[in-house]
Structure formats: C-alpha cells, structure tokens
Structure 1
C-alpha cells in the first residue's frame, strides 16, 4: 500500500508534503481521532543507512516515547508496516520553524526572545534532568505552534547519556548536528560532554533570535574555529542589545567547556529572570560597557550579510563597543572583567539553513 492508504487505515487523511530527504519524508495529515492536523514522519528502512537503522532510529523511538513536555513536540503514535516503513505521528508546528520566522520578520525583540528562549531552555532542562541530550539544536528544529510558542523537535541525534562506575557522565565521540551550531570541541573531533555541547547550540540560537543573523560564518570552518576559541562574539551595533542579553550569550558561547554555563545557570540568569534584571544591569555597565575602545580593522566590512534584506543598513562607525565579561561559576549573577572582550560590529554571517552532518 502507498502512504496515503496506510495512513487512511490508521485514521489519518494525508495532506501536503512538508519535507523530504533520501530515506525519510514528513507529511501533514488530519487525524480523525484527534480532530486536528498532525505531522507524520515516514522512514523507509530499505533506503536508510545501516548506522541510522542500528543506532540512531532506535534511540529516537525510545526517547520520543519518554518525552512529555509542553515545549517539546508531542508524539501521538509510532507504528511500522510489514514492508519496512516506520510512521511517527507528531504534533504539527502550524506556524513553521523559527529560522523561517526570523528570515521573514527579522530579529526578535528581547521580550519576545526571552519568552521563546525560556520555553526552549525549560525543554532542555527537562531532557538534561533525564540524562537525555538533543545534539542537533538549531532554529530549523524549533517549531512554532498557533500561538508562536516554541516546540522542540527532531530527536534524530538524541541519546541517553551513559555514566561510568563513579556516576560521572561519559564523553561522546560521534559528531552530530550542523557546523554553524556546533561547539568548538565537537568541530575539533575532541570527545565531548554532550550536555555541554547542547549549551553552545543554545547560545547560537539566542544570538540568532536577537540579532537576526549567525554569530559565526561557517563557510570557513578553520577561521570560524579560531574565532570561537578566542572567545570572540561580535554583536551588531544596530540591534542595541541589553548588557544582560549579551552577557548570557557570551557565557554560553564559552570555548572552555569547564566554564560554559549549565542549563540551571541559564534559567537563573538575570536576563531570563526579568525581575532581577535591574540589579545586574548596573554591574554589567560598570564593569563592561563603560569601556569603549576601537578594535584594529573594525571598519572592515564582513564579506557576508547577516540581517534581513529589507532592513536599512546601519551607518559605518569605526568605533566599536567593547563588552568585557567573564564567565563565573561562583555566582550566577556575577559579571566581572574578562580576558577576551566581545565586540559590536556592523555585520555578521548570513542567516541560512544548516546542513546536517554525521
């Protein structure tokens, strides 16, 4: 039977094609039982690579059956036919994904970004508390429901973390995800802490939310890696971001895995907790933004454009704000001078879909 006939027998009326790859596709469908539209991921075992069938697909199915969180796409049903096709029936992101949303509308205002980022961070905390890691966090995998709330999707690279005899989480060696969202330790092929890897990707996502552009240009991985390892984060001057927001991004995009924030520290950060923002703002301004120094070559334009085409270009100014801050694990709200400043720039890397690598 074809897909439409299979789904019809299960009570679904197949709709339009939402996406398609070499061995999987996603269709919309109307559920006669639920009385609303759903998404159906259809995987053809005959076309899928062995590594996917033996490792990634079983993990995904196991994890999807465990998850139940308001900011994670719901899985309603998983079934398989005798001819080797797996059907995963899921909640439909009726407003599309976050990447297309930002490409169409531009960067989010901080209040909107805070709401969406809190939803995403809550979902990641839920997963991490269960020792589940996503390992492919990117804007394309963040769907929006009818009210534009975040729904985390695509657990194809997720896994349950293993622990050694002493109870410590074991390192991962498999490169998962997209280069533009990948942490430097992953790009270097170093065995990595998967939860810490997720945090870096969260930092990239928040940057995209508030800047409407990528923090790093992945067209040259070697150059990108060098910039990341120097802990350089360039913020577009035109966005006028608050110090608290830049502080949080800077602390998530920390190349030192021992100093990168944990998910609990993110959720308790002053930017994510609006009531505490006023207290930390003065400290950040005192220690960081009061320093204004030109960066050598700061008037040099980036080769690629970061902001939406329809937005006006900011005026060129050779002077750049220097945001100096240091990740401190001793106090979640403490911000002090840093050895590597982030910079305010006119342009950055283009906002585009990321290719997935394994």
Structure 2
C-alpha cells in the first residue's frame, strides 16, 4: 500500500511534497478529523542506517510524545505500518521556516526579533527544564505559523540528559548539528555539556535574525574555531543594533562554557525583557568602531586539533579520555552552511536585492 492509501485509511488526504532525504520525506496532508492541513514525516526503516533506527528515532519518538508547548511544533499522531514505515503527523508551519523568511525579507527589526527570540527561548527553557536538549537548533528548524510565530521543530538529534549518581548532567560525545551553529567545544570533539551547546546555537540564531547573515564562515573550520575562541563577534555597523542586543549575542557566543549564559539568564536579560539596564552591560565602542569588553580577561585557548581534511563535516578524532561523567557516543556528521546567508568573518558578505548583507565593520572581542 502506498503512502497516500495508508494516510487515507487514517483520515488524511495527502498533499504536496515538502522535503525529501535518503530515508525520510515530509508531505503536507489535510486531516479530516482536525479540519486543517498538517505535515507528515514518513520514515522508511528499510532505508535508514542502523544507528538512526536504534538510537535517534526511538529518542525522537519518545521526546515528541512528551512535549507540549505553544512554541514547539505539535505532534498529533505517530503510527507504523507492517512494511516498516513510520508516520509522524505534526503541525504544519504554513509560513515556511525562519531561514527562508530572512532570505526573502532580510534582517528583522529588533522588536520583531525580540518577540520571535523570546518564543524560541521559552521553548528551549521548557525542554531544558525537562532535561531534554535539542542539539540541532538552526533557522531551518524554526517554522512559522500563520501569524509568523516561532515553532521549534525537528527533534531528530534531541535526547534526554543522563545524570550521574550525584545528580549532575553527564557530558555528551555525540557531535551533531550544523557546523555554522555548533559550539567550539563540539567542533573540537571535546565532551560537552548538551544544554550549554544549545545556548551557543541560540546566539547564532539571534545574530542571523538581527544581522541577516551568518556570524562565522564555516568553510574553514580551523580558522572559524580560532576566531570563536578569541571571542570575536563582528556586527555590521549598518544594522544599528542596540548595545543590549549585541551584549546578549556576545554573552551567548562565549567560548568559555563556564561563562556562557544559561537559558534563565537569557530570558531575564534586559534586551529580552526590553528593560534599560541600570548600568550599561554592553560593549563600549572605541574611536575606530571596534568594540571590546575591557572588564573581561582575554580568553586563551590552545589551538584546535581539527585537521584541514574537510570543511563540510567534523569527525571525531582520537577519542578523548572517558571519565565517569561522560556519556560515550559516536560522532555524527556536521553539515556546512556558510553559503546560505553569507557570513561576517574576515571578508565582507555579499549583497542581495531583497536581503542586504553588510560587510563586518564592528568587532566585539575580549
């Protein structure tokens, strides 16, 4: 029985193709019970790799079934057929994803970005409070409903955090996600704190929202890591961002994991709350237009061991020493995205007619 017939028997009239991969595809469908359109993710077990079937798919199904938040895509139904196909019926992002929205319309005004970022941060806090981490936060996974509200989607790399006997969250060693959104510790193959990884990705997303371009160029991972570990963040001067907005981004894109913001600190930040701070926390600007946080020490981190083999994926190198608080997992390919929106690293971004990307003229660093 083909997909259309299977869905028809369950009360869904299959529509257009929304996306397709090697072992999964997403279709639109009309639900006769719900009386509106939905998205249907169809996974073919016969074509899927073993690690996906044994680890990632069970996790995704378990987590989707437990999530219930207004800024997370709703899951209406999950069922499987005898021929090994899994059907996940989900809320449809009728306005597409945030990446396409920004590519079409350009950078968001800070007020619009604040609203959308607050919705996203609230969804991440909800997950983190449940000890669930997403690990693939990126603009493509942020869908927009009919009113352009954020709906967090694609929990394919998500997991429940494990805790040791002392109640501490164990470090993770599954290196997954997209390189442009991945934290330095993940790119280096260092066992990482999964919730802290999500925060870095939030910083990249907010930067893209307000700048309309990528903060780092991931075509050269080693070079990108050096810039990240120096805590350099380039802001296009033409965007006229407020100091509070730049401060929040800068604190999320913190290479020192012990100093990176937590989700509660993000939600209480003066920019998110739209409250003027009593004391200005944002970076001060010099005459040359280069900003620096003089109150912070320069962060010195050893050079990365990432080789120049490929700019398109990060592989786990020689396995780090395992300790009691580290969960052992294999590496997962990380994809390159620097050419999607352009970047603000060492060379100017290109310009498009609809969404202009400005060259980096203002730098924040430690």
User: What range is the shorter-chain TM-score in?
Assistant: 0.7 to 0.9
RMSD: 1.9
Aligned partner of 1:115 in structure 2 is 115
Aligned partner of 2:349 in structure 1 is 305
CA distance in 1, matches of 2:345, 2:55: 44
- Equivalent positions of 1:42-57 (< 5 A) are 42-57=42-57
For structure 1, the residue ranges without an aligned partner over 5 or more in a row are 324-339, 342-358
Q: Is the 8 A contact 1:132 1:158 kept in 2?
A: yes
Aligned partner of 1:169 in structure 2 is 169
Shift of 1:309: 3.7
CA distance in 1, matches of 2:200, 2:345: 26
Shift of 1:106: 0.1
Aligned partner of 2:127 in structure 1 is 127
CA distance in 1, matches of 2:345, 2:181: 23
CA 1:35/1:258 → structure 2, altered by over 3 Å: closer, same or farther? same
CA distance in 1, matches of 2:272, 2:60: 30
When normalised by structure 1's length, the TM-score is: 0.84
CA 1:137/1:301 → structure 2, altered by over 3 Å: closer, same or farther? closer
Q: Is the 8 A contact 2:212 2:355 kept in 1?
A: no
CA distance in 1, matches of 2:272, 2:43: 38
CA distance in 1, matches of 2:97, 2:350: 19
CA 1:117/1:219 → structure 2, altered by over 3 Å: closer, same or farther? same
CA distance in 1, matches of 2:170, 2:155: 20
CA distance in 2, matches of 1:23, 1:322: 43
CA 1:238/1:215 → structure 2, altered by over 3 Å: closer, same or farther? same
Is 1:159 equivalent to 2:154 in the alignment? no
CA distance in 2, matches of 1:310, 1:177: 28
- Equivalent positions of 1:25-36 (< 5 A) are 25-36=25-36
For structure 2, the residue ranges without an aligned partner over 5 or more in a row are 291-343
Query: Which of 278, 283, 289 does residue 280 from structure 2 map onto?
Result: 283
CA 1:83/1:134 → structure 2, altered by over 3 Å: closer, same or farther? same
Is 1:293 equivalent to 2:288 in the alignment? yes
Q: What SS does structure 2 have at the residue aligned with 1:171?
A: coil
Q: Which has the higher contact order (CA 8 A, sep 6+)?
A: 2
Q: Is the 8 A contact 1:125 1:264 kept in 2?
A: yes
CA distance in 2, matches of 1:224, 1:161: 28
Aligned partner of 1:191 in structure 2 is 191
- Give the number of equivalent residue pairs: 313
Q: Is the 8 A contact 1:106 1:308 kept in 2?
A: no
CA distance in 2, matches of 1:29, 1:163: 40
Shift of 1:305: 2.0
Aligned partner of 2:11 in structure 1 is 11
Q: Spell out, residue by residue over 1:15-51, the C-alpha distance to the aligned partner (whole angstroms, 9 max, x if none).
A: 0000000000000000000000000000000000000
CA 1:290/1:188 → structure 2, altered by over 3 Å: closer, same or farther? closer
Q: What SS does structure 2 have at the residue aligned with 1:283?
A: coil
Shift of 1:312: 6.2
Shift of 1:293: 3.1
Shift of 1:65: 0.2
When normalised by structure 2's length, the TM-score is: 0.82
Aligned partner of 1:344 in structure 2 is none
Q: Spell out, residue by residue over 1:219-271, the C-alpha distance to the aligned partner (whole angstroms, 9 max, x if none).
A: 11110010000000000111000000000000000000000000000000000
Aligned partner of 1:220 in structure 2 is 220
CA 1:192/1:57 → structure 2, altered by over 3 Å: closer, same or farther? same
Q: What SS does structure 1 have at the residue aligned with 2:136?
A: coil
Is 1:241 equivalent to 2:236 in the alignment? no
CA distance in 1, matches of 2:355, 2:182: 28
